[in-house]
Structure 1
C-alpha cells in the first residue's frame, strides 16, 4: 500500500525526533564531539557532513580532524554553538535583529546554507522603518539580495521616518549617497534635514561632501517657509554653489520675486534642472552643446579634448564625465568638466581597455563602464572608476559580450540591456549585476532584439528606446521593465524610428535626442510624459545628432 504525503511527513518527523533524542541517550550513537570554551556537544558525524559543507570538507580531505573524535570550534562561543546544533537537529532557532549577525557569522563559518536561508526569511518579516538601514547593511554584508531589495523598498516608502533614526547619521558616504537616491520626492524637506544632521554628526570629514548631496535635492518640492529656513543653514549660505542652486530653482518655480530675494543675491546663476548637455557625435565629435528644454536656449560649452563618437557619459553631482568612444579606433580616454565652472575638460586616468560603443552608469561613488567594441570584437569585460582616488578597477565580466547596449542603475542593481554582438547581431538578452556579490544574472529578455538602443530609468522603471532590430529594421518601439514584476512591456512608440539616439530624464520626462532613421540623421527631440503615455516633438537641435552622448544638467 502506497503511503500518503501525510504519512511520509509524519515519518520524517519521527525519524528526526529519533535522531535528536539519540544525542542525549545513554546508548547514543554519536561519533563526534564539538567543543567550544570547554563545553562538549556530542553529534553525529554523518549528519554534520550532510548539512554543512564545512564539515563535509573537513572529513573528506586530509585534515587532522578526520582522524580525531573531537573538533574544537574556536570561532563560535559555546552558547551560539548550542543554538547551531539545536537548529541542525530540530530546525528551531530564535532570530532577532539583535542576534542575526552572530547567527549569520556562524552560518557562513560552518557553510550552513539552511540556517542562512532561515535568517533571510526571518529578516524579510522584520523589515520596518526603524531597522531598515541596519538590515540593509546586513543584507550587503551577507549577500542577502531579497532582504536588500525589501529594505530599499521600505526606505523609499518611509523615508521621512528613516532619516530621523539614529542609524541614518552613522551611514558612511557610499551608503548615504545610495540611500538618498532611494527617496520618494514627497519628502525633500525631511531629506534636507537628514543630510544636514548627517554632515554635522562628523563635520570635519563630511562638510566637503554636503554640496554633492544638496545638489541631488529638488527645492521646488519644498515649501517657501522651509526654503527660507534652509537658506539660513550655514552649510547652504556659506557655499556659493548651494546658494546658486537654490536661487535658480526658485526662479524657475516662478515664485514671488520678493521671496527669492530673501534667500541670496548672486551675479551668476547656474541651472541644474532643465538642461541637457549633448557631447560629441558624428557631425561634431568635440562639440558640447547645452539645450534648455524650457526656453530652448542654446549654450556652447568648451570642446572635449578628444573626439567623442560612440562614447558614454554620466553626471556625478556638478561634474560630468565622458568616457571611451571612437577616433579612428576605440579609445580609452576619460575626461571631466565641472558644470558649475564650465571652463575646460580635465583629462582623467585612462580606462584599462579602449572601448567604443560602450555604456555606463554611476552608482555609489563609482562610474561603471560595461562592454563595448574593441579589436574587432564585442567585449564582455567591465570596469569601474573610483571617483575619490581616480583609479580604474576590473569587475566581473558580463555573461554576454555586447556593444551598442544600454546600462542603467535601478533599485541598487546595474542592468545591461540588449545591444549587439560583433556590431551586427542584435541582442534581446539582458542581465543584472549585483555590486555587492560581483555577480551577473540573466533577466527577462526584451520583446524585440535591439542594437543601438538608448535606456533610462524613470520612477523605478527601466525604459529601452528605439534602436535597430533584425534585418536592419529601424525601431520606434519602446519597452518598459519593472524590476519588481520582472517582465518587459511595450508602451507608446516614438514618433520616429531612431537608431543610436541619446536619452536622459529632465523634469520627470524622458527626452530622446536625434539618431538615425534609415539614411537620415535626425535633429528632432522627442519627449515622453509617463502620465499620458504619449511621445511629442519637443524641439529641434541646430544640427542632426547621431552617435552622441547626453546627460541632464
Structure 2
C-alpha cells in the first residue's frame, strides 16, 4: 500500500439528504410502534414516542427524562394542561419538522409549545400571529403575547395598537382590557391620536362597559393629559360625570387642567409643567406623489400643502411601481428614456433626503405593481411578454430578489394589488384573485357586484376597497370604455362585496392612499387634478385639494410616509 501523505488526509463530507431520511426513519418507527420507550397520555388518547426524540427538541422533556423525576422511569407519562390535538401536533413536529398552524389552533398550539418548551413551534406561532395581525385582533394578540412572554410579538402588537388607536379603541377586545393594560396604553408617548380628546373618549367608553371600573378610574384619569383636552370638551363631559365627583384624585386632576388652561404667561406655564400637560409627540403622514419625469412631491392632507422633494436620480419614466415602508419609498421598474425597460430598484429615505440604488430585479418590469407584505416587497405583472406572469420577491434585509412565480393566472391587465392577512389581492381585467406567497396558491375571489376593470384599490380597517375604474358601454361598441365613480368594499371574513357611496367624480388609473383612517384618491375631476377623501364611518366623499401642476395624473404613482 502506498504511503499516505498529509494531502491524502480524509475530510468529512456532509450529505444533505441525511437529516430528512433520519427523520423519516424515526417517524416510520414511531408509527409502527417500534422501539418506542414512552407513551404520552392525554385525556384518554395515547401517543407512543421515543424519549431521545422528545428530549432533543424540548428542554421540558429533557429535564423530565434525565433529572431523576418519577416520569424518567415510567412507561406511560400523563400530560396535563394541553389539548390532545396539540400533543399530537407537537409529537408529529418532533419527527417531521412540520406543523400546520391556523387561526383556529394557534393559541392552543402556542400554549402547548410554551409549556413543553418547543421553541421552534413557539416562534412559528408568534410569527403566524404577527403576519395575521389586524385592527380586530391586535389587542387579543398582545394579551396572548403578554401571557406567554413573547417579547417580540408583545412589542409589535403594542406598536400596532398605538399606531391605529383611533380605530382600535372602539373594538370589543380593547374594552375588556384590565386597568393596568389600559393605563400602559394611554400613558404612552407614542399613542397616535389627533387630539387628547380621543384618549379621554376611549377611557370613558372603557369605563361605561363595566360599572365596577368606577373604583379605579382615578388611576386611568391620571394618565390622560387633561390640560391638553379642548376646554369645551373638558367642561361639558367632566361636569356630567359622577365618577369624577366621587374621587378626590379625579377632582384634583380636573382642577389642574382648568388651572393650566387659564394660564396667560409662559413663565407660569413653565412653573406648572408636568407629565399631564406635556404634549405627545405627533407624527405626520404625507402622501408622496411621483410624476412621469421622476419629479417627487409630498402632500400633507391636514394642511393641504405640497412640497417638492429630491427628484429620482435616474430616468425610469414610464409607469414604474412604488410602495412605501415606514419612511422609505421603493421605486421599481419603468420605461427608460431610450424606450427600453428597467430592472432597477431605487429607495428614497425621507429622513436623509437621499436616493439609493438597490439590487436589480431578475426581469424587466413595466406597468407593474409593487406591494409590501411581511416586510418583503412583491412585484407582480408587467406589460412585457417575458414578465407578464411573474412574481418576484425582494428581501430588504439581504438586498436580494427571488423569482416566486412564472405562471401567474391570467388576470388580464393588473391595475391594483393590495396585501391583507397574509394574502396578496390582485385586481385585473378578468377579475380578482389572491396569491399566498407561502403556499404559492392562487384563488379566485367572488366577483364584485358591478364588474369593472382598471380600478384603484386599498385596505382600511381589515377590508378592501375597490374604487372607480371602467366598464364597457355596449351602446357605443365593444371597446367603448367608460369611467365610473362606483366604490365597493370586500370583507374577507364574510367573503362578500358591499356597495359604498360613489365618488364625486369618475376615475380610472387613479392612485389611492390611506392617511389617518381616511382614503384619498388622487386624479379625479376636471383634467384629473382633484384629490377626493372618503370617510368609512360616514360613507361620504369630499374634494379636499388639487395636485401640483407638474404631476400628471395619468403617470402618477404614490404612497404614504410617516414622519416622526
Q: TM-score, normalised by structure 2?
A: 0.59
1:362 & 1:444 partners in 2: Cα distance?
23
Separation in 1, partners of 2:135, 2:109: 13
Q: Please list the CA deviations of residues 315-352 of structure 1 after superposition, one character each: whole Å capped at 9, or x if unmatched.
A: 2222222222223343222211222232x322222122
Alignment of 1:338 onto 2:323 = no
Contact conserved, 1:475 with 1:497, CA < 8 A, in 2?
A: yes
Q: CA deviation at 1:512?
A: 0.2
The match for 1:439 is 441
Residue 556 (structure 2) pairs with residue 548 (structure 1): yes
Q: Secondary structure at the match of 1:394?
A: strand
Distance 2:391 2:539 in 1: 34
Q: Which residue of 1 aligns with 2:397?
A: 388
Partner Cα separation in structure 1 for residue 445 and residue 142 of structure 2:
32
Question: Helix, strand or coil: the match of 1:103?
Answer: helix
3-state SS of 1:525 partner: strand
1:381–1:401: 8 Å Cα contact kept in structure 2? Answer: no
- The SS at the match of 1:531 is coil
Cα deviation digits, residues 358-417 of structure 1 (max 9, x gap): 22222222122222222x46622112221222222222454345543322222x323323
Residue by residue over 1:232-251, the C-alpha shift from the partner in whole angstroms, topping out at 9 and shown as x without a partner, is: xxxxxxxxxxxxxxxxxxxx
Residues 121 and 462 of structure 1, relative CA distance in 2, 3 Å threshold? closer
CA-CA distance at 1:287 after TM superposition = 0.7
Q: Which residue of 2 aligns with 1:466?
A: 468
Contact 1:380 1:401 (8 Å CA) reproduced: no
SS at match of 1:161: helix
Asked whether the 8 Å contact 1:430–1:442 carries over to 2, the reply is yes
Structure 1 residues 163 and 95, CA gap change in structure 2 (3 angstroms): closer
Change over 3 Å in CA distance of 1:280–1:171 after alignment to 2: same
Aligned twin of 1:348: 358
**Equivalence for 1:290:** 298
Would you say the 8 A contact 1:448–1:469 is kept in 2?
A: no
Say which SS state the counterpart of residue 104 (structure 1) adopts. Answer: helix
CA displacement 1:119-166 (0-9 Å, x = unmatched)? 9866678899x99xx999959948999x99988687424366346445
1:496-517 CA-to-partner distances (Å, cap 9, x unmatched) read: 22121101011211100016x8
Q: Which residue of 1 aligns with 2:205?
A: none
| Residues 1:364 and 2:374 are matched in the alignment | yes
Where does 1:496-511 land on structure 2 (aligned, <5 Å)? 496-511=505-520
Q: Counterparts of 1:136 and 1:216 in 2: how far apart (Å)?
A: 32
Matched with 1:533 is 539
Query: Distance between the aligned counterparts of 2:118 and 2:502, measured in 1?
Result: 41
Check conservation: 2:411, 2:431, Cα contact below 8 A: no
1:495 is aligned to 504
| Counterpart-to-counterpart distance in 2, 1:510 and 1:177 | 22
CA shift for structure 1 position 312: 2.1
The runs of 5 or more residues in structure 2 that have no matched partner are: 1-30, 40-48, 56-60, 62-77, 201-220, 226-260, 276-280, 473-478
Equivalent of 1:482, from 475, 487, 491? 491
Give the deviation of 1:301 after TM superposition: 0.4
* Aligned residue in 1 for 2:430: 427
3-state DSSP of counterpart to 1:167: coil
TM-score normalised by L of structure 1 = 0.60
Structure 1 pair 386/377, CA: closer, same or farther in 2 (3 Å)?
closer
Q: Quote the residue 1:23 is aligned against.
A: none
DSSP-derived class of the 1:373 partner? coil
Shift in CA distance, 148/390, structure 1 to aligned 2, threshold 3 Å = closer
Q: Point out where structure 1 has 5 or more consecutive residues left out of the alignment.
A: 1-31, 41-70, 81-92, 198-213, 229-253, 265-269, 420-425
- Aligned-residue offset at 1:190: 6.1
Decide which of 273, 278, 282 is 2:284's aligned counterpart.
Answer: 273
Provide the aligned length of Structure 1 versus Structure 2: 413
Q: In the alignment, is the contact (CA less than 8 A) between 1:396 and 1:439 conserved in 2?
A: no
CA distance in 1, matches of 2:397, 2:155: 11
Query: How big is the shift at 1:437?
Result: 3.3
Q: Secondary structure at the match of 1:352?
A: coil
- The corresponding residue for 2:15 is none
**Aligned with 2:307: secondary structure?**
strand
Flag the 1:539–1:318 CA change in 2: closer, same or farther, 3 A.
Answer: same
**8 Å Cα contact 1:139/1:148 also seen in 2:** no
Q: Pairwise mapping of residues 305-324 of structure 1 onto structure 2 (< 5 A)?
A: 305-306=313-314, 307-324=316-333
Q: Distance in 2 between matches of 1:326 and 1:97?
A: 58
Distance 1:263 1:436 in 2: 50
Q: RMSD value over aligned CA atoms?
A: 5.1
Q: 2:427 and 2:388 mapped to 1: Cα distance?
A: 14
Q: How does 1:36-185 map to 2 (within 5 A)?
A: 36-37=35-36, 97=82, 102-107=87-92, 141=124, 155-158=137-140, 161-162=143-144, 164-171=146-153, 185=168
8 Å CA contact 1:467, 1:474 repeated in 2? yes
* Cα separation, 2, equivalents of 1:274 and 1:488: 29
State the Cα distance separating 1:455 from its structure 2 match.
1.2
Aligned equivalents of 1:413 and 1:324: distance in 2?
A: 24
- Separation in structure 2 between the aligned mates of residue 122 and residue 275 of structure 1, nearest angstrom: 39
**Structure 1's 153 and 497: CA in aligned 2 closer, same or farther, altered over 3 A?**
closer
Tell whether the 8 Å contact from 1:378 to 1:401 is kept in structure 2 after alignment. Answer: no
Helix, strand or coil at the partner of 2:414: coil
